[in-house]
Amino acid sequence: MPPYLLGLDNGNTVTKAAIFDLTGREIGVAAEPVQTRHPAPGHVERDMTEVWQQTARAIRQVLQATGIAPGDIAAIGCSGQGNGVYLLDHDQQPLFAIPSMDSRAVALVAEWQQEGRGQTIYPINYQGIWSAQTGMLLAWLKRFDPVVYEQIGTAFFCKDYINFCLTGERATEVTDASGGGLIDVKDRQYSDALFRLYGMPEAVSYLPPLLESTDVVGTVTAAAAEVTGLQAGVPVIAGLFDVVASALGAGVVETGDASIIAGTWSINQVIVDQPIANPDVFMSCVFDRERYIAIESSATSATNLEWFVNECLGLEKQEADSEGRSVFETVNRMVASTPVDDSLPLFHPFLHGTNTHPGLRAGFYGISGGQGKRHLLRSLYEGVAFGHLNHINQLRQAGADFKQARLTGGGSRSHIWAQMFADILEIPIDVPNGIEIGARGAAMAAGVGVGLYRDLAEGVRQTTQIERHHAPDPSMFPCYRTRYQRYQLLTTLMAQYCAAVQRLDTVSGDHKVLETA
């Protein structure tokens, strides 16, 4: 039998195992829902033993479903949610995991920003500081949970922990380490100076060996083979930060190539030869052995549609379920039947906040009588694309321009939404084939690691094709440009409103204290 590649994709909501042939064709996939716990407001944690068990079950399920012999798996690559932190103790036993949705370090970040520490850190890690960043979470643990901090023997990332469970070897790699703010991005190495700025010079000792993404970490152990159904001895490569894996899986591999992911997060990224030294860009992290990827992102994308469907389209969802089809088919028909014009409301896609202003939240603005669900949905689609455009303009202004992009994520499955991206961004949009794009990127890197592809570029050529092409329609530019200007103006005004409310709440709080006294 020809060799196959196993790609693992450990996200914040689902863990997936997918098997691909060497042309990138998806043979089968199995998924396990991710379980999280919320022990305190803003705290999000995962049980590490459960994380491994979910991954092991997904691997066993996809092997059984496809009937592929374990001996035909040539290599394994894993991608995982970046940032957050996964902790082992000094005996290499799991402590607990903090995924990237956690916000416990928000106040500490604000304190450090006031001190100017973020600006000092930025020239080293090319992202400064933010709440779910690995370095900031370790700093938070040192100050606020020293009992746990003193137990740390290893600090690494989600996919690193899966690799550890598969091989027994502790390692991380440069895409995740740079995405987590843990290395000197220009030198591509751990930095003692960086950890002194974090206030924890000792934490460098918690970090495992730093590899390249396609380096082999080790091979599947007999113990891991028993619980997964894999064959012992299969090579496991170091793997990738999930957004980098998704870019690869979409076919983004050359300097100037751009990847847009319309999923839970709005991910907008472009490959560059040198990291972008501009604090207005969210981060620059390592892409491959020579180049970098500039990233602008926030949790402002297709998750807004999921919320709207769950909260507002109960009848439509019930009807679709009874007919054995997806409610999103109904949603797309509703949007397609609603032409864009100046009377439509504007939508801010800030359900989970935005890095524009910490107080901003989602909202529909300018609803008028006679408008209903389909008008709100059209505005939601448009607002999400405007959110992506805001990030893309940040990249362009920093020098990371591009002329076309590949779109993936749940939003890419909608033809009308993909066309809206092309018209609003004013660039051609290509939608690549396949569904499990991140897992394919990880599998492709595994193929490079064991010599099945000469390099990542050859892997892309062998495994990715374009499924749909969306050319921008110039007749739509004037209307969308006007509406985007209004979207930006409204963002500015709502930020002022949030600041005013905060001042009002502070004054009201003072009055309450006085009245109580």
Q: What is the pLDDT of residue 509?
A: 59
Q: What percent of the chain has pLDDT over 90?
A: 84
Is residue 341 situated within a structural domain?
yes
Is residue 12 situated within a structural domain?
no
Residues 413 and 353: beta-carbon distance below 8 Å: no
**Domain containing residue 479:** 303-430+469-500
Is residue 135 situated within a structural domain?
no
CATH code for the domain in which residue 490 is found: 3.30.420.40
Domain count, the chain: 1
CA–CA distance, 353 with 350 (Å, rounded to integer):
5
433-438 mean pLDDT: 92
CA dihedral 400, 402, 406, 411 (to 10 degrees): 70
Tens-digit pLDDT profile for residues 340-371? 988 999 999 998 878 777 678 899 999 999 89
Is residue 354 situated within a structural domain?
yes
CA–CA distance, 466 with 492 (Å, rounded to integer):
38
Tens-digit pLDDT profile for residues 262-274? 988 899 999 999 9
Q: What percent of the chain has pLDDT over 70?
A: 97
Is a pLDDT exceeding 90 seen at residue 299? no
Tens-digit pLDDT profile for residues 150-175? 999 999 999 999 999 999 999 999 99
Is residue 415 situated within a structural domain?
yes
Is residue 338 situated within a structural domain?
yes
Give the C-alpha distances (Å, rounded to integers) separating 4 from 24, 253, 393, 447. Answer: 10, 22, 40, 9
Tens-digit pLDDT profile for residues 228-282? 999 999 999 999 999 999 999 999 999 999 999 998 889 999 999 999 989 989 9
Q: What is the pLDDT of residue 507?
A: 67
Q: What is the pLDDT of residue 1?
A: 62
Residues 51 and 94: beta-carbon distance below 8 Å: no
Is residue 496 situated within a structural domain?
yes
Nearest residue to 396 (alpha-carbon basis) of 272, 298, 286 = 272
Q: What is the pLDDT of residue 42?
A: 85
Top pLDDT among 1 and 100 is at 100
Is a pLDDT exceeding 70 seen at residue 327? yes
Tens-digit pLDDT profile for residues 438-450? 999 999 999 999 9
325-331 mean pLDDT: 94
Residue 26, SS3 per DSSP: strand
List, in order, residues 6 or more apart from 83 with CB less than 8 Å away. Answer: 100, 132, 133, 134, 157, 179, 180, 181
Is residue 402 situated within a structural domain?
yes
CA–CA distance, 48 with 30 (Å, rounded to integer):
20
